[in-house]
Structure 1
Amino acid sequence: MATRKQMILPIIVLAVGIGGFVAISSMKKPPAEKEEVDNTPIVAYTEVVKAPMNYSVSSYGLVKAKYETELVSQVNGEILYLSEQFVRGGFVKKGTVLAKIDPSDYEANLLDAEAAVASAKATLVQERAFGKVAEEEWKRIENGIPTELSLRKPQLAQELAKLNSAEAGLKRAKRDLERTLIRAPYDALIESRQIGLGSYVAKGSMLGKVYSTDDAEIRLPIGDKEIRYLTNRGQNANVTITGDYAGEKHQWQATIVRSEGVIDDNSRMTYLVADVKDPYGLVSEKKQLRFGTYVTAEIQGSQAGSVTRIPRHLVVANQVAVISSDNKLKYQTVDVLRQVGSEVIIADGLESGMKVITSALDYPVEGMAVALMGDESNPQDIDKDTDTQLAMEDKE
């Protein structure tokens, strides 16, 4: 049987434990109250600016000469002379003698032709005199009816035909002699020369090739849907050409002079032709737009009216997220006129001064409150600025 001491000892130990727990608990500080956190999402935005704008259509192409001419010999003979300018890359003026073919045979042919003409003229004069004599003799004959032959009219016609033939031969002889001089057909750039001094050429032999330097042309492919943005289908539209010269980007002005009028079988594009005046700067002092240069082009189009341009990723299902006057998220329906690269052109739905949200939202819900990035009244921005300032002071 337990003694009285054995019964009281556990009670004392339990009481001491409870008393110690209560004492320790009374010494523990209560947890500090946490400040309320503002979970309003902070958004970046841009203000809408509406302004008049002209459409433009982008394209590309290669610069080529308006005229390319292959110089071909029209007579036979030996090359006796070559101009120093008749070399690849040389610039020549219209009418410049580039080469000369031996004219000896053609000078002789010209003398023969001139002699033939002189002989035919003399014979014609003589035949006319015979005709007048015959006519006078028939006048003395009473009751006589002269025939065409008796008046020598067929003989006169024959001599007249011989004279015409001789004059035609003279023209051919002069023309062949003139063709011994190979001249530039226009102000030109020499693309190639395929003859040498002393070489023999025949009719049809290739002598060289030249490019006209007054104008350059660029074929610009345009998608069918892009033509609606051009006034009068692009006719006479101004074009800004951009290309490289001496390792730097340069621009030239051009004009659309025509449309080729058909859709290309392979690319399914319509080609507009842009004309550039004086591409090599021979008349005006401007940078050379060399033939064969790859260029990009901006064709000026029709007026779009008062519009705004924003990044295309901000438009989803023809809606744009904007900030209302009471700083709440709102979806605004817009009318997209056109997409240009990474931007879209909007005519209706956005007005000047509206705030378009440009940052991403995790769980956007229309009507939710948002905070503007950079707004001084935004407590989260103030806390961030304070933390930054404290960190800088710690470093000091």
Structure 2
Amino acid sequence: MVRKKQIIIPIAILAVGIVSLIGFSSMKKPPAEKPEVDNTPIVAIENIVVAPMTLKVNSYGVVKPKYETTMVAQVTGEIVELSDTFVRGGLVKKDQLLARIDPNDYHAALIDAEANMASARASLEKEVAQGKVAEREWKHITDTSPTELSLRKPQLAQELARVKSAQAAVLRAKRNLQRTEIRAPYDAMIERRNIGLGSFVGIGNEIGKLLGTAVAEVRLPIADNELQYLIDQGRQAKVNLTGSFAGKDIQWQAQIARSEGVIDDKSRMSYLVAEIQDPYHLKSNNIQNTMPLRFGAYVQAEVLGLEIANASVVPRYLVINDRLAILDNESKLHYAKIDIVRQQDGNVIVSNGLVDGDQMIVSALDYPVDGMKLALADDKTETQETPDKSSDGEDDTQVANTETKGE
């Protein structure tokens, strides 16, 4: 009996343990499956725009007249007349009278010179007649030949010289009389006037200064390495000038007229000279901006240069060894070989290697490999949000079913 108990009890305990193990095993839930982690690098992109482009070289300068003249007195006398427009800032036309020096003495000098010339001509005619008489008389003398003195040729030459001298005196007197009138040599603006009514001027005294209004100039400093972006080093290039007038930014059109042909020894810059026709819009046929481009104004300049048929602008920091990271149609990394035409500020201008609509990668990659798979931030966000919405729906359904059963 005891032996049976010793055998049955261990067997019973073993059976109970096995049953308990099976029961606990059946109650154990299987481990939840972990979602696959997508390690595809996320990048940000920008679309590349390819379009025709005209290269521009920036510069600056001050507007000055092409022609300016300091007028000085060429005769001596008192100022007896002044024009109302002969004031600072006044606009005058070519040959317009600005001032008049007292002409009375010069009128008298002209009359005196004309009288001397009349006397010289009379003496010349008299000498010509005497020469003819002497020549007729010598024809009756056959035993000797006449000399030039006997024919009065030296006397005739002397009278001719006196006539020419008198003519020169008349011309000089007329010129001095004309110089008593101070006239503008061209259409101009008065920069300053140094005389007044009744003041006395001598030869060489400054009367005033004129600034020609037909053409204005701007000297534009250009770095030597920038000339490569201009056609024919900028000759005849179009220029956009921007300046301020009455508090507003105004633009004027100009053209490069010439290069000064030297490098400045201080700034080490080359200088191109731009010309602006009719800067004050005084001609009726001028169709440019109605705002005048005043002398002395400071302007910014854009010199138009080479034209590129297919150009795009790319941030400089994205270019490595003349290559640019592109996201291709298969969402893979691709390095495009590009031709850089110019570096400007923080960008580079590309002429070849890119197509309009290419997706340029603008975010940094830790370990970029050509051909690696990439993802956009927006696409990955949408992928992650989709399963979350489905699981939320299942939970709501389970809660609804539970509530229904409880009811």
TM-score band w.r.t. shorter chain: 0.7 to 0.9
What's the CA shift string for 1:312-349, capped at 9, x where partnerless? 23223322121122212333332211113332111222
Residue 143 of structure 1 deviates from its aligned partner by 3.5
Show the counterpart of 2:383.
379
Q: Does 1:226 align with 2:226?
A: yes
Mapping of residues 1-396 of structure 1, within 5 Å: 38=38, 40-283=40-283, 284=286, 286-361=290-365, 364-375=368-379, 378-379=382-383
Instruction: Pick which of 31-40 and 344-353 moved more.
Output: 31-40
Partner Cα separation in structure 2 for residue 352 and residue 146 of structure 1: 106
Cα pair 2:340 2:348 within 8 Å, conserved: yes
Cα pair 1:373 1:381 within 8 Å, conserved: no
Could you say what secondary structure the match of 2:112 adopts?
Answer: helix
Q: Which amino acid in 2 is paired with 1:291?
A: F
Could you say what secondary structure the match of 2:57 adopts?
Answer: strand
Residue 366 of structure 1 deviates from its aligned partner by 4.4
Q: Which amino acid in 1 is paired with 2:118?
A: A
Instruction: Pick which of 352-361 and 31-40 moved more.
Output: 31-40
Residue 42 of structure 1 deviates from its aligned partner by 3.5
Q: Which amino acid in 2 is paired with 1:338?
A: R
Residue 33 of structure 1 deviates from its aligned partner by 7.5
Cα RMSD after superposing both structures:
2.7
> In the superposition, relative to structure 1, how do residues 369 and 157 fare at CA in structure 2: closer, same or farther (>3 Å)?
same
Task: Name the % identity.
Answer: 56
> In the superposition, relative to structure 1, how do residues 221 and 73 fare at CA in structure 2: closer, same or farther (>3 Å)?
same
Could you say what secondary structure the match of 1:331 adopts?
Answer: strand
Residue 30 of structure 1 deviates from its aligned partner by 11
Residue 197 of structure 1 deviates from its aligned partner by 1.1
Residue 373 of structure 1 deviates from its aligned partner by 4.5
Q: Which amino acid in 2 is paired with 1:113?
A: A
TM-score, normalised with respect to structure 2: 0.81
Instruction: Pick which of 259-268 and 185-194 moved more.
Output: 259-268
Cα pair 1:255 1:275 within 8 Å, conserved: yes
Cα pair 1:130 1:152 within 8 Å, conserved: yes
Cα pair 1:374 1:381 within 8 Å, conserved: no
Show the counterpart of 1:9.
none
Partner Cα separation in structure 1 for residue 255 and residue 120 of structure 2: 57
Partner Cα separation in structure 2 for residue 294 and residue 381 of structure 1: 59
Could you say what secondary structure the match of 1:116 adopts?
Answer: helix
TM-score, normalised with respect to structure 1: 0.83
Cα pair 1:38 1:380 within 8 Å, conserved: no
Residue 43 of structure 1 deviates from its aligned partner by 2.7
Partner Cα separation in structure 2 for residue 172 and residue 384 of structure 1: 109
What's the CA shift string for 1:174-204, capped at 9, x where partnerless? 1111111111110001101111111111111
Residue 32 of structure 1 deviates from its aligned partner by 8.2
Partner Cα separation in structure 1 for residue 293 and residue 206 of structure 2: 28
Residue 133 of structure 1 deviates from its aligned partner by 0.9
Residue 210 of structure 1 deviates from its aligned partner by 0.7
Partner Cα separation in structure 1 for residue 277 and residue 385 of structure 2: 58
Cα pair 1:372 1:378 within 8 Å, conserved: no
Residue 106 of structure 1 deviates from its aligned partner by 1.1
Residue 375 of structure 1 deviates from its aligned partner by 4.5
Could you say what secondary structure the match of 2:163 adopts?
Answer: helix
Cα pair 2:92 2:189 within 8 Å, conserved: yes
Show the counterpart of 1:23.
none
Residue 361 of structure 1 deviates from its aligned partner by 4.3
Would you say how many aligned residue pairs link Structure 1 and Structure 2?
Answer: 359
Instruction: Pick which of 50-59 and 62-71 moved more.
Output: 50-59
Residue 309 of structure 1 deviates from its aligned partner by 1.8
Partner Cα separation in structure 1 for residue 92 and residue 48 of structure 2: 56
Instruction: Pick which of 231-240 and 119-128 moved more.
Output: 231-240
> In the superposition, relative to structure 1, how do residues 111 and 380 fare at CA in structure 2: closer, same or farther (>3 Å)?
farther
What's the CA shift string for 1:48-77, capped at 9, x where partnerless? 232333322222111110101001111111
Cα pair 1:376 1:382 within 8 Å, conserved: no
Cα pair 2:310 2:352 within 8 Å, conserved: no
